[in-house]
Amino acid sequence: MLFSSPIFFVFFSVYFLLHFIIPKQFRIYLIILGSTIFYGWWRIEYIWLPYLLTAIAYLGVIWMNGAVNPVARKRRTVACVIGLFLPLVFYKYTDFFFRELIGPFVGMQDNLLNMPLPLGLSFVTFTLTAYVIDIYKGKFPATSSASAVLAYVLFFPHLIAGPILRPAELLPQLERQRMATLRRFTVPLAIFSLGLVKKLVFADQVGFAVNDVYNQNGTLGALDALLAIYGFSVQIYCDFSGYTDMAIGLALAIGIRLPNNFRRPYAARSLSDLWGRWHITLSFWFRDYLFQPLGGYRRGRFKAVRNILITMLLSGLWHGANWTFLIWGLLHGIGISVNYLLRPVLRRLPSGKMPDWIGVLLTFHFFAFAAVFFRSPTIAKALDIWAAPFIGGWGGIDSFANNNVFPLLLILVFFALHRFDDIRRIKIVVHYAQSEFIWIALAFCWLVAITISQGNTAAFIYFDF
């Protein structure tokens, strides 16, 4: 059930109505029931999985807190986290490890399981891992309410693709359940509408052109390759930040505040800066639960680089069980390491840093070219895309422009407006602008989105992770 699909609008309309009817003390059960229906709409046979993972985390915390000494408590915490990751490893990585590492030695190149990945499994696992570790470290008190923990995990706006929430960010809100009002509905609707336009108008339409390039066989032209490189950067950002905007808007409509997950990443001046702006809750998850426990930057440059490379390699593997994702993670690990090692050199510049415009330009192009491995099904295809701007032909500019005028226009509009992409601006505009202007603008956004998409929408890219 996609946020941008007609069936979801029916689902949320019913849910929103029930939110007003049901007494406050029972709304947490509405979240559980509604989110179960939302999740089961995709594949009902997997509906047991988030319940099982929640049970592992909830009972694991009770078991952990019952330990007689710190050593036993730590061991139980580790056992609980391993239990949480076992389904993810089984469903997501069994085929990859068997096909790539074991299969060649036993004469088998096919998948062992060939089973679809349960929707949102990675996000559920990371959310519950944060719950267990934060309680272990004393950052959040263990709750006695199993229903609250289940609602924290299942809460449908963030269930499938984040944001990845810490317990302190959602559990207190679920327990007090601030009442939504129609008077406060304009801001959530405006945020949701922004996400809808990003998804249906920019991500989906540019994505068609990107797919056409990646589906081509033979030698690619330079212009086609550049369209794929720049176009995918627009597509993945608008796809995922559009999902986040819609999730934030939906949650806010029922009185729940979710953290922002994107902060104009293509305006970042370095890779480290970019990863503090892109998929923020995931970046901070890897920072707090992997990079820092490994030692972070604290134990010298060599170990800092090692920790960066391990973190980004595992981030790549988290995104997908394919060599292309590992290479993508390695590229970012190398890039962030170089960025880290060059800091003392940059401080010696007259201004104490690289000029902002150079940093933004280099950072974006590194991200865009590395994303070729993120998008490509094979290493060979990624190398073809990489090579085409340098060895491909530059002929047929007129026909290329005529055939791709709409996606090219969308790409230009996106980069012109990216610096203004901030939901805080949406809140300010809604607060100060006249209501007539707001409603006309929202109606126009919906009209454009529905007209261009013709009522169809592609699945969100991060549903695959």
Q: Give the torsion through C-alpha atoms of 159, 161, 164, 168, to 10 deg.
A: -30
Q: Which residues contact 433 (CB under 8 A, 6 or more apart)?
A: none
Residue 342, CA atoms < 13 Å, CB-side half-sphere: 14
From the list 319, 365, 418, 431, the catalytic residue is 319
3-state SS string for the chain: CCCCCHHHHHHHHHHHHHHHHCCHHHHHHHHHHHHHHHHHCCCHHHCHHHHHHHHHHHHHHHHHHCCCCHHHHHHHHHHHHHHHHHHHHHHHHHHHHHHHHHHHHHCCCCCCCCCCCCCCHHHHHHHHHHHHHHHHCCCCCCCCCHHHHHHHHHCHHHHCCCCCCCHHHHHHHHHHCCCCCHHHCHHHHHHHHHHHHHHHHHHHHHHHHHHHHHCCCCCCCHHHHHHHHHHHHHHHHHHHHHHHHHHHHHHHHCCCCCCCCCCCHHHCCCHHHHHCCCCHHHHHHHHHHHHHHHCCCCCCHHHHHHHHHHHHHHHHHHHCCCHHHHHHHHHHHHHHHHHHHHHHHHCCCCCCCCCHHHHHHHHHHHHHHHHHHHHCCCHHHHHHHHHHHHHCCCCCHHHHHHHCHHHHHHHHHHHHHHHHCCHHHHHHHHHHCCHHHHHHHHHHHHHHHHHHHCCCCCCCHHHHC
Question: 279 near 319, Cβ under 8 Å?
Answer: no
Whether 319 is catalytic is yes
Active site residues per annotation = 319
